[in-house]
Amino acid sequence: MPEARRGTIAIEQRVLGRNDEAAQRNRAFFRERGVGVVNLVSSPGAGKTTLLERLLGDLRERVRMAVVVGDLQTDNDARRLRGKGARVEQITTGTVCHLEADMVWRAISTFDLAELDVLIIENVGNLVCPAGYDLGEDVRIAVLATTEGEDKPLKYPTMFKSAHMVLINKTDIGGVVGFDRDAALQSLSRVAPQAATYEVSARTGQGLARFYDDLLARLRPA
């Protein structure tokens, strides 16, 4: 292997190692305080914010929630999510294509965790970078929209392999865009057999009730 490439790999490993340490600190901190943490990942536009807009309303009587949302620029998503009873903090990453454990740590530094059951982190839209960055979450949810095509789990396996739950979103328009449901389910069972899969529409709410129950069960083990 060329010297320069070896050097790059060594730096990447150091960065990931530092992030893993910060993620372990986050995880211990949240566990001690009884806060369940979700890391929501997908490509841009798969429907993460739309899902959260609905979820915050649907679950507000059952759990006390807060959201940290990451984007390269703008606080558009935070503005969309405010006013639903949950505290919302936006992280703008500039040029960084994923959230890191330390960014989450800083974003929640003024949160009163005693008033919280669940923290949901909407990661930067990207099917590649966020996969390697543990944030200290309990549950990683990957969203795959029907509009992206059924082969994405095969093309971006690392993200799906690391997910506990996968949402196939935009099922309301799957027919129109020619989404091959069987092929998608097959891709997922090959690449991510560990993940529980849900077919949903964040637009209509279809399929979300079972997802909500399973998510809360994972976050608050009896």
Ligand X SMILES: Nc1nc2c(ncn2[C@@H]2O[C@H](COP(=O)(O)OP(=O)(O)O)[C@@H](O)[C@H]2O)c(=O)[nH]1
* Closest separation in Å from C-beta 20 to ligand X: 26
Which residues in 161-190 contact ligand X (CB under 6 A)? 169-170, 172-173
Among 7, 34, 44, 57, binds ligand X (CB under 6 A): 44
**Where do we find the tokens 């970078």?**
129
Stretch that binds ligand X, among 17-25, 44-52, 93-101, 154-162 (CB under 6 A): 44-52
Among 77, 89, 148, 150, binds Mg ion (CB under 5 A): 77
Among 38, 67, 167, 202, binds ligand X (CB under 6 A): 202
- Residue closest to ligand X, measured at CB: 47
List, as one string, the DSSP characters of 7-35: HHHHHHHHHHHHHHHHHHHHHHHHHHTT-
| Least Å from the CB of residue 77 to ligand X | 6
Rounded to 5°, the CA angle 59-119-68 comes to 110
From residue 153, how far is each of 142, 144, 162, 193, 201 by CA, in Å? Answer: 10, 8, 11, 11, 19
Residue 65 in contact with ligand X, rule: CB under 6 A: no
Told to check if 48 binds ligand X by CB under 6 A, we report yes
* CA dist 42 → 13, 33, 50, 122, 142 (Å): 24, 28, 13, 9, 6
Rounded Cα gap, residues 200 and 178, in angstroms? 16
Nearest approach in angstroms of CB 77 to Mg ion is 4
Site for ligand X in 112-141 (CB under 6 A): 125
167 interacts with, out of ligand X, Mg ion, none, CB within 5 to 8 A per kind: none
Q: Is 68 or 202 the residue whose CB approaches ligand X more closely?
A: 202
Q: Which does 187 bind (CB under 5 to 8 A by kind): Mg ion, ligand X, none?
A: none
Per the structure block, which two tokens stand in for 81?
A: 């999510």
- Measured from the Cβ of residue 168, the count of other Cβ atoms closer than 10 Å reads 25
User: Which of 85/175 has CB closer to ligand X?
Assistant: 175
Cα 60 to Cα 48, 50, 87, 202, 218, distances in angstroms: 18, 16, 12, 16, 17
Residues that bind ligand X (CB under 6 A): 42, 44-50, 125, 169-170, 172-173, 201-203
Residues that bind Mg ion (CB under 5 A): 48-49, 77
